[in-house]
Chain A
Amino acid sequence: MARIFKSLQEGLSQYRDRRFDGSQEEYEACLRNSTTVYVGNLSFFTTEEQIHELFSKCGEVKKIVMGLDSTQKTPCGFCFVEFYTRADCEACTNILNGSVLDERSIRVDIDWGFKEGRQYGRGKSGGQVRDEYRTDFDQGRGGYGKIVQSELETIQAHGLSPMAPAPYGGMLEGHSKKRGRDEGQGNKSYHTPGGDKRSRVEENPRFKRGSDEQEDGDKA
């Protein structure tokens, strides 16, 4: 049945990577043949092993590429998962989109294929663009968005109460509407009720820091 129903649906993916170097047709061809999914709205603390555990339920996982903050080289809330077969990849977007990992509802979408460089956040401060303009407090993602954080710091530096009416509200709304998704689709923010109290500043207990073998001695 799905055949007729699918024929009435539009588009393969809501998201268009604006840095894709090619035409819409080429982009769609990539999407049709890709075996990679994009995973969004991850907690910064979610490990590759957790992702592997969830995604291998849809098929053998070939590769996981964590999205990293381009300055700090720490996870910034998204990743790419590559499967061996197209069927597993399609099943994965169908099944796991909207599922909960680490108490966050994750987004899973077909991706056109990982290329070196795409693992880095595209926001000015290094993380994802969505995290620049976010105005809610999200414990799994380092608290407030980057702009709000810096404004909060400014306020605190001037001795104002952080609970004062937010001077940034209007500005931020305008921005987030224009930006839309860069690494992720839509700008929906998820708040985790009862999430753990860790924040970005603390040492992440599950992420073993550093990708360089030089630091091998330490165990996080």
Chain B
Amino acid sequence: MEHRGKGGKGKGKGGKGGKDFRPGKRRDFRQGMEETNERRIRSYILANSGSESDINELEEVLKQDIGLHTNLVLETLLECGCEMPLKTGIYATVVGLLNLEHHQFVADFVAAALARYTDHLSKPETHREQARLALRFIASLVGVGAVQAGSLVALLASIVQVATDLAEEATAAEGCDPPVPNESWQPYAECLIYHVLACLPWVGADLRERDPEGLELVLTSAEVFLGQRKRGTRSIFRSVGVAQQEDGSAAGMDDDDEDFIEELWGRISVLHEGGNWNVQSVTKYHSPFEHRLAKAISHDLPAITLAPPPRPPAGASPAEALAMMTRMFPGRPRLRIVDHKKTEGDRAPIERFVIEEFIMDTLKLWEGLRQECVTQLTQLPLPRKWSYEHLLAETVFALMLTLPTPPARNVFYSMVLADLCRLKGPEGQPLLPMMANGLAATMGGLFRRMDLVDLESRGRIAEWLAFHLSNFSFSWPWDRWAHAATLPAIAPQRMFVEDVLQRMMRLSYWDRIALTVPVPLHPLMTPRPEPLYEYSTEGANADEREHAKQLLQHIKDKKQVKVIGEWVKSTLIEQLGPVAAAKVVAGVVLHLSSKSFTHLSTLLDRLGPLISIAAPSSLSETQGVLLSTAAKAWATSPQHLAITIERMMAKRLVQNTVIVDWVFATWEEAGGQAERSLTARLALWEILYSTVNKTSARSRDLKQDLEAAETASTAAAEGLRKASAQAATAVEDHLAAAEEARAAAESAKAETNVETRREAAAQAQSDLEALLRHVLQRFSQALSTGLAKALEDGAEMQEADAEDSGAE
């Protein structure tokens, strides 16, 4: 391009994009060209429908680019192959076609794919689905002749072997004297087996054709593993429990009791036993090219050694170790609540598994682009006429209810579900006509089994339903649930409806919901939110009332906060005593700030010092008064109460441990659930939850700050090292010396910064630990003191238990 001087026409190899850049500036032009190429190649690879012509076209384009942009093509193709869960077969076909002429490129490609698998498997963060999809992609390369069937079998067998070794090691340890009980090996081993079994629908047919003994080998060794694992290690993470018989044993061995590995194995076995590995939901994109692909020379997968299996830290208790490993290698979310006829129809068992994979992977990998994610979910590459709305609804719910924490925010799944109901095609026809039915069936199933639904999960379902109805004009067949109002106060179904109504009111307003909901359900609604100002009523203590009036006047006169503070100290506390003084100050400030969230925030900022004077953190008694005053002011509205307490905590006017104590004290004070007011019942748990969450978020933020500061400090130290080296070589160079001094100052500053942040982070961490310990203590106290009562009232005991595990 250099011979074209200024004003050259600039129509180089860049093609379409080249003309957008001024040829006079050569560097910009080159950069522009690269960007354009990158965009062009990426968009070509990304936008591929999988039709014969599309695949042909992509093959042609990539052939031209492979020589020039080898890495870009390789990386993009690999990323798409592994992260476009609906299109694995398309990219595998393209790789297969490229293999015909660019053998070395595909050799490198296969090695890179394998490296991606091991890499994602060993990362501490949760990238397991990335590893699984990489393995699936590698497996798909067998069918297109890019990977040797035998070498894939060797890979799969070696992965299964790692799992089996772990199982044997654990069995041996249990046989010792004394036995060493250990289940913490299982999550990782199950993860490996899951990866292997999960790629079989994509490669089973090809393996059966090319290496039937190999397939047999993989399956038998997997079966050996299944015989060695323990069932039920994940049962505490079930969002819907199993019905218990009166003697406490599980009622029957219905398939609800199966775990995801067993279930998957069952579905695979059907394929194996039937000898027919044809899976309809896995599209054979490569069939039009079979005659060409037959000439391919396939690659051997390089031998790999998996990183040594991760182990829990030495000294961890068995339960702790299991919990840690389960968190690192979570199982596959699973929910079976809708009639099988609706979710699976008369399709082969394996199809459900494949469709679930499509749904879960799309939701995970496209989470950051909701609209694109939803579009893909409406276009799953399945045979025409297959209706999958019920399965889609149930699967999204399975993810949403994942314990202890779902992969994405609850509201993300809620919004996706709303989108799926709403989306219309170009002619205005709904894209998924049965979606609302699918959701209704799932909700109905969950409501019927509400007594078995985990407490945390119940809250999430309520949150979803309220959000969903708010998106669809609140229309819902409430009459079907009218009986909930006749149930006892602690009946799960009743509590669920209360929760839903409450959340609906918050998203809308009281009158709107009261109009929507049939009258029999009105007792389950909290009253219209109305702040209560204690000192406006006659019944209030006259002394306090008089002082409150004075304080209100001081504030209205816009006196300086400092001046009012003096008055609080010298007059209010002196005359009323600390507790009543705190009550008056809190009462007045909360009265003034009751108008809106912003009023609350601004007034707590402005008048916060008064609260700190009247209720210092050293006097926990007065701090507790802040909370009980807030509870009185907002006796009608759990939301306002929760927000008020959250804001007071955010402004550091009240300590988190005080809030926890107050929550438990209020809980115990009111005695049984039945006597407690609806507001308190709804608010207490939320307040406790938000207190713990806020403390943990603080600690997390400070940890991130610390990491950023450390990175900056390392960079500054590096800068200093370079500057010193330069100053040392250039003798008597003033500039270099000055530079060194500057770098030294910067590095020292960064170092101090790290120190302060480290202290802050450590402080926040110990705060969090102290708070969690406190919460657990209060829980165990509440449980042990209330044991006698709880024995009479078994349901309440379960409640607390469930809350306990949810809090963790």
Contacts and interface: CB of A to CB of B under 8 A. Distances in A.
A4 B556 contact: no
B35 to A, nearest CB: 10
Contact of A49 (B556, B643, B694): B643
A136 B419 CA distance: 26
Given A53-B507, A94-B370, A214-B556, A1 B598 contact: no
Contacts of B591: 216
Interface stretch (A5-13, A150-158, A170-178): A5-13
B592 A216 contact: yes
B597 A52 contact: yes
A2 B365 contact: yes
B79 A58 contact: no
Given A4-B42, A4-B76, A49-B506, A196 B411 contact: no
Interface of B: 38-39, 42-43, 46, 76, 79-80, 83-84, 365-372, 409-412, 415, 418-419, 463, 467, 470-473, 503, 506-509, 511-512, 530-531, 552, 555-556, 591-592, 595-599, 601, 639-640, 643, 694, 697, 701
A96 B369 contact: no
Interface of A: 1-8, 47-50, 52-54, 57-58, 60-61, 63-66, 84-85, 90-91, 94-103, 194, 196, 205-206, 208, 211, 213-214, 216, 219
A95 B366 contact: no
A57 B411 CA distance: 6
B83 A1 contact: yes
Given A1-B84, A6-B368, A94-B370, A57 B410 contact: yes
A219 B694 CA distance: 32
Contact of B80 (A1, A91, A101, A205): A1
A185 to B, nearest CB: 15
A205 B511 contact: yes
Contacts of B39: 7-8
A84 B415 CA distance: 22
A205 B365 CA distance: 44
A85 B701 CA distance: 8
A90 B367 CA distance: 12
B556 A95 contact: no
A10 B503 CA distance: 37
B415 A96 contact: yes
Given A2-B368, A95-B409, A219-B530, A50 B512 contact: no
Contacts of A100: 418, 470-472
Contact of B463 (A4, A57, A194): A57
A66 to B, nearest CB: 7
Nearest to B133: A1
A7 B409 CA distance: 24
Contact of B592 (A4, A99, A213): A213
Contacts of B530: 219
A60 B552 CA distance: 31
22 contacts: A1-B80, A1-B84, A2-B367, A2-B369, A4-B79, A6-B369, A7-B39, A48-B598, A50-B507, A50-B509, A53-B639, A63-B601, A64-B597, A66-B598, A84-B697, A94-B368, A96-B415, A100-B470, A100-B472, A102-B508, A208-B596, A216-B591
Main secondary structure of the interface of A (DSSP, over half): mixed
A217 to B, nearest CB: 9
Contacts of B409: 57-58, 91, 95
A49 B640 contact: yes
Contacts of B531: 219
Given A8-B43, A216-B592, A99 B367 contact: no
Contacts of A48: 596-598
A95 B411 contact: yes
Contacts of A50: 506-509
A188 B83 CA distance: 35
Contacts of B372: 5
Given A1-B84, A213-B556, A53 B506 contact: yes
Contacts of A84: 697, 701
B701 A99 contact: no
B597 A213 contact: no
B686 to A, nearest CB: 11
The 8 closest A-B pairs by CB, nearest first: A1-B83, A57-B411, A2-B368, A53-B506, A48-B597, A100-B471, A48-B596, A1-B365
B643 A52 contact: yes
Contact of B470 (A8, A91, A94, A101): A101
A199 to B, nearest CB: 16
B412 A47 contact: no
A48 B506 CA distance: 11
Nearest to A219: B530
Given A7-B42, A208-B595, A194 B694 contact: no
B555 A213 contact: yes
B639 A1 contact: no
B691 to A, nearest CB: 12
A214 B511 CA distance: 28
Contact of B509 (A61, A95, A206, A208): A206
Contacts of A102: 508
B335 to A, nearest CB: 21
Nearest to A208: B595
Nearest to A195: B473
Contacts of A58: 409, 411
Contacts of B79: 1, 3-4
Nearest to B39: A8
A61 B511 CA distance: 26
A36 to B, nearest CB: 14
B749 to A, nearest CB: 22
A46 to B, nearest CB: 9
B369 A95 contact: no
Contacts of B555: 213
Contacts of A52: 597, 643
Contacts of B410: 57
Given A1-B365, A48-B597, A94-B368, A60 B467 contact: no
Contacts of A4: 42, 46, 76, 79-80, 83
Q: Which of A2, A4, A85 has the most chain B CB within a 10 Å cutoff?
A: A4
A43 B372 CA distance: 28
A102 B84 CA distance: 36
Contacts of A60: 694, 697
Contact of B415 (A99, A103, A206, A211): A99
A207 B372 CA distance: 37
Contacts of B640: 49
A208 B599 CA distance: 11
Given A48-B598, A213-B592, A95 B412 contact: yes
Contacts of A103: 473
Contact of A95 (B80, B370, B552, B599): B370
A101 B366 contact: no
A3 B506 CA distance: 36
Contact of A194 (B366, B473, B506, B599): B473
Nearest to B466: A53
B369 A5 contact: yes
A1 B369 CA distance: 10
A206 B506 CA distance: 12
A110 to B, nearest CB: 14
A208 B596 CA distance: 8
A47 B601 CA distance: 15
Contacts of B643: 49, 52
A102 B508 CA distance: 6
A98 B374 CA distance: 13
A2 B473 CA distance: 32
B623 to A, nearest CB: 22
Contacts of B370: 94-95, 97
B695 to A, nearest CB: 12
Contacts of B694: 60
